Amino acid sequence: MAWRSSGATNEALITNLVKNKLIRSDRVKDAMLRVDRAHFAPAKPYDDSPQPLGHKATISAPHMHASACESLLDYLEPGSKVLDVGSGSGYLTAVLANLVAPNGTVIGIDHIQPLNDMANANMGKSEEGRKMLESGQIKFVTGDGREGWAEGAPYDAIHVGAAAAVHHKALTDQLKAPGRLFVPVAEGGTQHIYVIDKNKDGSLERQKLYGVQYVPLTDAPV
């Protein structure tokens, strides 16, 4: 049903995602309504499809952002700390910040500096976005997301927006116990979304969800 969810406006897009049961909770609906995708997607922002950002990166389709938020929702409470790996244009970082507001924080990490520059500029397109940057609710850093961002750890939730070649131990190490990781993982010629829960005792439970197609989580270009 994802291909039927496109709309002419941000509100229409979100309404269609709800109608097609790709958004299931009011919290995710409200958070996505507060972030105008046109500020973050360079073309056809309200199509439910991925869009190229340049630098061999993409912004994922809105239904994938909705799925990530729904999957992590139990760990996205006011005051939660979140890491967004492969934050790209900053769209999902902003949605996640709304879900952990007013006193939560989200760190977006990308290894491509021009994308972080783009994300900061995109946040500046709205008053709410500017306030989130100024208050420290959102921070964009440049680094290898496969190693997480130890300076901000531990995190209640980690989202990964590119396909990992393996399960990166650094990411689960930086989760709180309990905490949750949402990550696409490449397996042979396919990719699947995994949700990995870190339990109170530090043990990990991996759940394989559904097949996807993401750009790979790679080294920064030289």
Tell me the catalytic residues.
60
Cβ 137 vs Cβ 152: under 8 Å: no
**Alpha carbon distance 164, 201 (integer Å):** 25
Helix axes 26-33 and 91-100, enclosed angle (nearest 10): 130
Inter-residue contact 165 to 183 (CB < 8 Å): no
DSSP three-state, residue 70: helix
Q: Output the CA torsion sign for 140, 215, 63, 121.
A: positive
196 and 172 in contact (C-beta within 8 Å)? yes
- Select from 119, 109, 218, 90 the least CA-distant residue to 174: 109
Residue recorded with tokens 């760190």: 107
